Amino acid sequence: MIRFLVGGSALFLVTTAMAADGLPRLSAETSCRTVQRLEALPQPVFEACIQDEKNAESQLAGGIWQRAKASSRETCTSNQQGTASQSYVELLTCVQMMEKTTLQPTAPK
């Protein structure tokens, strides 16, 4: 899905690609740059944001996303639509809240 979002004077093209029930592909850099610009964050905070996004993506890909109910995945994905800073951290938090538990990724085999 492709959306155009206007924030300040900049026009953002945010793409969320998703397989049938697969984890949405989000851009951690786009998300963190948007927050950095809006909040005037220094570079070390930006780098920490990138790491947080990668960690959240890894947890979701590690089994949390697939084990979550389809209704939870749909709700959490739709909550991110129309926002300039789509985030794996927010997606993970949403899924955990929807599932009312902190799902843990499965151990690699």
25-63 residue pLDDT tens: 998 898 898 888 888 878 888 899 999 999 999 999 999
Please report, as a single letter, which amino acid is at residue 20: A
Tell me, what's the pLDDT at 2?
32
Q: Which residue did the predictor score with more confidence, 24 or 81? A: 24
User: 66 in a domain, yes or no?
Assistant: yes
Other beta carbons within 10 Å of 49 = 21
Domain count, the chain: 1
* Placement of tokens 């026009």 in the chain: 11
CB neighbourhood size of 4 (10 A): 8
d(CA 38, CA 8): 9
Is 106 within a domain? Answer: no
Question: Is 39 contained in some domain?
Answer: yes
Task: State the pTM of this model.
Answer: 0.69
Residue 84 forms part of a structural domain? yes
Domain presence at residue 63: yes
Which structural domain, as residue segments, surrounds residue 6?
2-99
Helix (H, G, I), strand (E, B) or coil at 5: strand
**Does residue 48 belong to any structural domain of this protein?**
yes
